[in-house]
Amino acid sequence: MKRDVQNYYRGLRDKIKDADAQLFVAQLDRKKEANSAFFYDFVVDEHGKLRYIFWADATSRKNYSHFGDLVSFDATYSTNQYNMIFAPFTGVNHHMQSIFFGAAFLVNEKIESYEWLFRTFLEAMGGKAPRLIITDEDASMKSAIRTILPDTIHRFCMWHIMEKFSEKVGPPINHDKDFWAALNNCVWGSETREEFEMRWNSLIIAYGLERNEWLANRYQIRESWIPAFFMEISLAGVLRTTSREILYDDEGNVLDEKPKDPIEVEKRKKIAMVRNKVEDAIQKAKSSNDAMNFLLSSVLNIDASLGNMILSAVPQRQEEYENFVGCEIPEEIQIHPPNDVRSKGRCKRIKRAKELPKPRKGNNAKKLMKEALQ
C-alpha cells in the first residue's frame, strides 16, 4: 500500500510538473465560478512567469466591510520552493478575534510590487481604504502605502521593533531586569506624548545610550510606533460598509454582487442552505453514536441516489489526478512558476538579524551563512 501511494504521488508530481502556478490560478478561478463574490487577480511577466497574485474570498470581503478600519499587513514569510513573499492582510473583529481579509504571493519586495498589491486590495474591497494599517519598517512598503493609501495612517508593528531591542542595546544592558521594566513602562505605560518623551530621555541618559544610532532613529519615528501618539484614534466605533451592493443569505453568507441571473442566485442560496444544514446536523449528532450512525447512513443513501441521477464513466488516471488537485491539468502551460528555484522544506519565516549566525573567519563563513538563510 505504501509503495502504491508513493508511485501514485510520483506520477502526480510528474504530471503537474511546472504547471503548479497555472493550477493554482485555475483553483482560484474555480472558486470564482462557485461564488462570484470570490476575488482574485494576478500578473505574469513577458515570459508567462507568475509575478504577483492576490485573493480574498466572500467571507474575507464581508469581514473587511465591517471590520476593515484597522488592517495588519505582514510580509515576513516566504514560500519554500519559489522563495515568493507570502503577504496576508488580517484584522480584529468585535470579539477581539483575528480575522482574515486576503493574501498575496509576491515575487519580490520592490515598490512596484507593493503598489500593485495595495491597488488590487482596494479593488477587492470596493475602494474602501483602511483608516490605519500596521506593517514592519520596510522602506518599499512605506513608499507604496504613501502612494496608494495616502489617507491611511501608517503605523509600524510594535512586536518587530521591541524584538530588536535586546540585540541593539547589547550586553550587559539587555540582561538588566530594571532596564526592561523601565522600557516597558516608557513604551506601554506612557499616556501622553510628553510623558513618553520624558521617560525615554531619562532611560537613554540612565543607561548611557546617547550614542546608540538605532535608538536615535527609533525616537525619530516615534509617532509611527509609540501608543501614546495614537490615543486619539478610536477603533471601537461603528464601522462603515463598502458601497457595493452585496446579497447575503439568512445566515449572513455572501451570495453575489449585483446579481443578474436569478436562477444562479437561487442556486447559490440552496448551496448555502445545504451546507449550513449539514453542519448543523453534525453538531446535533456528534454527541450520540446512534445519531452519528443515522446521519452517516442518510448521507450515504443520498450519495447513492445522486450517483444514480448523475451517471459518470469510470475515471481514468488523468481524471483521478484532476479530481485530486480539483481542476483540469493543462496540456499547454501558459502561466509558469516565477523562477527555477527548487529548494526543499516547509514554508519559513524570514529570519531576523539576531537569528542569523555570527560571521566566522575562514573559507566556510559564506557557506554557513548561506545555509542559515535557507
Q: Which residue has the higher pLDDT, 299 or 236?
A: 299
- The answer on 166 and 207 residing in a single domain is yes
Under 8 Å CB-to-CB from 37, ≥6 apart: which residues? Answer: 57, 58, 61, 246, 254, 255, 256, 257
Question: Does 291 map to a domain?
Answer: yes
Q: What is the pLDDT of residues 36-59, one digit of tens each?
A: 899 999 999 888 889 999 999 999
* Mean residue pLDDT across the chain: 78
Containing structural domain, residue 267? 259-314
Residues 206 and 164 both lie in one domain: yes
pLDDT digits (tens, 9 = 90+) for 163-202: 899 999 999 999 999 999 999 999 988 989 999 999 999 9
Domain assignment present for 55: no
Beta-carbon count within 10 A of 260 CB? 8
Separation of alpha carbons 94 and 67, rounded Å: 8
At residue 156, φ and ψ (nearest 5 deg) are -90, 150
pLDDT-derived band at 306 (thresholds 50, 70, 90) equals confident
The C-alpha angle 274, 28, 313, rounded to 5 degrees, equals 65
End-to-end CA distance of the chain: 34
Q: Answer whether residue 128 is part of any domain.
A: no
In this structure, the answer to whether residues 267 and 221 fall within a common structural domain is no
110 belongs to a structural domain? no
User: How many Cβ atoms sit within 10 Å of the Cβ of residue 174?
Assistant: 13
1-15, 20-34, 355-369 — most confident range: 20-34
Does 73 map to a domain? no
More reliable by pLDDT, 160 or 119: 119
Same domain, 265 and 220: no
Interior angle at CA 96, CA 94 and CA 97, nearest 5: 105
Together in a domain, 222 and 271: no
- Are the CB atoms for 54 and 124 separated by under 8 Å? yes
Amino acid at 155: R
Is 174 within the bounds of a domain?
yes
Cβ–Cβ < 8 Å for 68, 101: yes
Q: Is residue 342 situated within a structural domain?
A: no
Domain annotation covers residue 46: no
Q: Whole-prediction pTM value?
A: 0.64
168 and 223 co-located in one domain: yes
Choosing from 314, 330, 361, the residue where a domain stops is 314
pLDDT at 310 (0 to 100):
63
Distances (CA, A) of 240 to 56, 64, 89, 230: 19, 10, 19, 21
Residue percentage of the chain with pLDDT more than 90: 34
Last residue of a domain, one of 210, 230, 250: 230
- In the chain, the number of structural domains is 2
Q: What is the DSSP string of 82-132?
A: S-PEEEEEEEE-TTS-EEEEEEEEES---HHHHHHHHHHHHHHTTT---SE
pLDDT digits (tens, 9 = 90+) for 337-365: 776 554 444 455 555 555 555 555 555 55
* One domain for residues 268 and 225: no
Name the region of 305 (left: φ>0; alpha: ψ -120 to 50; beta: rest). alpha
Regarding whether 171 and 215 lie in a shared domain, the answer is yes
Q: Is the pLDDT of residue 332 over 70?
A: no
Q: Is the pLDDT of residue 249 over 50?
A: no
**Rounded to an integer, what distance in angstroms lies between the CA atom of residue 79 and that of residue 147?**
27
Quote the CA–CA distance of 184 and 196 in Å, as a whole number: 11
